[in-house]
Amino acid sequence: MKGSTYRRCSCRDPKTGKELGTSCPKRNSRNHCTYSIRQELPPREDGSRRSFARGGYDSRKAAQADLDHVRALLGLAESDDPEGVELIATMLAEVSSEKTPLPEVEETRRRLKAGQDLIGSLTVSEWLDRWLVGKRIRKSGLNRYETDIRVHLKPRIGNRRLDRLRVSHLSEMFTDIRDANAQILEQNVQRRAAIDELAAVPWKGAENRVRRKAMKAAIDAMPPFRRVTGPATRLHVKATLRAALNDAIGQQIITFNPAAHVEIDPVRKPKALVWTDERVAKWEQTGEKPSPVMVWTPKQTGAFLDFVAEDRLYAMWHLIAFRGLRRGEACGQPWSETNLNTHSLAVSSQLVQDGWELEASEPKTDSGYRVVALDDDTVNVLKRHRERQYADREEWGSAWVETGHVFTQEDGSWLHPGKVTDLFERLVAASGLPPIRLHDLRHGAATLMLAADIDIKIVSDTLGHSDTRITRDIYQSVLPQVGKNAAEATAKLVPLQRKAEEEKAARKAAKKAKAKKRGKGNPKDKARAQAKKKARSEAKRKKPKK
């Protein structure tokens, strides 16, 4: 196909405004004109001509280099590949009209073979929208992805080209999030201070009313109270982007995932701590919890269950406390999967909150599907609960909502997990026990199983964990007596001379004390004991035989 380089003068006639072209008096000057290129492209499907044109080159050499570049791109498609020829021609026509840089030959070759767009103009925002539409997950998970994309990813990196996204861009994004957190905290402090100042201004008096009005206007102009983006949220934002970019790699749109290599602040999950007497005493004095995740001792758990024995949902509290079901699993547990004859229940469904709305869902992971064994007491508790539910059904009559769930509202309808949490918190406060969350009752069940020397694999399967390492990480802190027994067992493995001597002295002292107790240490006591023994023998001898 025809192509050439040529000189071009852009000077114009001051009167007519037209380009002078070859009539320019300065045309023959060495540095006056610039060079341009034009390359014919394969015609369109309708036969119309098209070409690649570009100007503004300082030298013929630079112009010729770009012309060779264009011809190399045209040569990527074989003559017997009309689809490839059309893709290359369309790409070059677009690059020419938009005056964008020519794409690299090898990158274009790779894209052509992979069936990708030859011009990497797809933005991160466009890809995230496309990726989100194709996700087939439950609504709550989809909404979480959408929030990450709308609030964090699109505003900060959405306009960047997907194929040019780099680790440095993501580092800048997370730095920006941290800076925004500092600004939010400062604005929250300012707004709180203004509200406190307003509360201190009296209502009476014209001067005070004017002042209050001005202060209210100033507060309204301030940014509202906002939550900062914590470490866990930042980690989820990274996970969302990483998943989206992995799918882009799978579709051969990009070859590198920068989200897999960006470093952010680690998330340190709080460890479960037990409410020991010392921690309870400090809580009673200060009202502060030692950790966000607290676990009751067996005695405290028993006290709570005794306190709520007459509660309508006692069976639920009992089941979570001993078998460790999650809140949504307990609320969504059907009678059809609860076999009291075989002392087991199968966890195969749950109720999930999306905002305040509810939806029935399957367990999130394969490990969530599990069979949980039930002890005799729990079975009896569930039998009594079922009898009470039968009575409620009779009382409600035609108004009863048949959901088939084990735990329901008074009319049989779905039990809202959020309301269950609120009720649990009120019951804990009324019991006078140190506070725990409803999910901590599940933690307590795990701790009790570990304290009972149940194998870690069985504990993990009962809780629905995908790996025993998760169980170990969460429940590193166990009941005090378990740690004490472990420490004693460890200490006994090391033979110490000092320890042997102390034990020998202790045995000798115990033997001496025992002898003294029997009267062998004091001569007078010994004489009295012998006299009593002699008197008993004499009485026995004189006793007439029958």
Q: How far apart are CA 150 and CA 128, in angstroms?
A: 10
What is the three-class DSSP state of 24? coil
Report DSSP letters for 151-167, one per residue: IIIHHHHTTSBGGG--H
How many Å separate Cα 58 from the centre of its chain? 56
pLDDT at position 452: 80
Q: How far apart are CA 405 and CA 394, in angstroms?
A: 16
Q: Over its length of 546 residues, how does the chain's per-residue pLDDT go in tens digits?
A: 678 888 777 677 777 777 666 677 666 666 677 888 999 999 988 889 999 999 888 888 999 999 999 999 999 988 888 898 999 998 899 889 888 889 889 888 887 887 777 776 789 999 999 999 988 887 778 889 999 999 999 999 999 989 889 999 999 999 999 999 999 999 999 999 999 999 999 999 999 999 999 999 999 999 999 989 988 899 999 999 999 999 999 887 888 999 999 998 887 777 778 899 999 999 999 999 998 889 898 899 999 999 999 999 999 999 999 999 999 999 999 999 999 999 999 999 999 887 788 888 888 788 889 999 999 999 999 999 999 999 999 999 999 999 999 999 999 999 999 999 999 999 999 999 999 999 999 888 888 887 787 888 888 888 888 777 767 666 655 555 565 666 666 667 666 676 677 777 888 888 777 776 665 555 666 666 677 777 777 776 766 655
Q: How far apart are CA 324 and CA 326, in angstroms?
A: 6
Residues in Cβ contact with 363 at an 8 Å cutoff, skipping those fewer than 6 apart = 329, 347, 348, 349, 350, 369, 464
pLDDT at position 216: 93
Other Cβ atoms within 10 Å of 297 Cβ, number: 21
Q: How far apart are CA 74 and CA 89, in angstroms?
A: 7
The burial of 301, by beta-carbon neighbours within 10 Å (0-12 exposed, 13-18 middle, 19 or more buried), is given as: buried
What is the value of pTM for the model shown? 0.64
In the structure encoding, which two tokens stand for residue 334, read together? 């059907």
pLDDT at position 478: 56
Q: How far apart are CA 479 and CA 301, in angstroms?
A: 13
Q: How far apart are CA 12 and CA 462, in angstroms?
A: 85
Please check whether residue 344 is in contact with residue 373, taking contact to mean a CB–CB distance below 8 angstroms: yes
Residue 78's nearest CA partner among 87, 67, 91, 65 is: 87
Residues in Cβ contact with 325 at an 8 Å cutoff, skipping those fewer than 6 apart = 319, 333, 347, 372, 442
Half-sphere exposure of 133 (CA within 13 A, CB side): 6
Which amino acid, 328?
Answer: G
Q: How far apart are CA 25 and CA 23, in angstroms?
A: 6
pLDDT at position 513: 76
pLDDT at position 218: 93
Q: How far apart are CA 105 and CA 73, in angstroms?
A: 6
Other Cβ atoms within 10 Å of 492 Cβ, number: 9
For residue 335, give the DSSP letter: G
Q: Which residue has the tokens 């090898």?
A: 106
What is the three-class DSSP state of 527? helix
Residues in Cβ contact with 439 at an 8 Å cutoff, skipping those fewer than 6 apart = 326, 327
Give pairs for 369-372: CB < 8 Å, separation 24+: 370/346, 370/461, 370/462, 370/464, 371/344, 371/345, 371/346, 371/347, 372/323, 372/325, 372/344, 372/345, 372/346, 372/347, 372/462
Query: By 3-state DSSP, what share of the chain in percent is helix, strand and coil, each rounded to 5?
Result: 55, 10, 35
How many Å separate Cα 218 from the centre of its chain? 38
Please check whether residue 55 is in contact with residue 35, taking contact to mean a CB–CB distance below 8 angstroms: yes
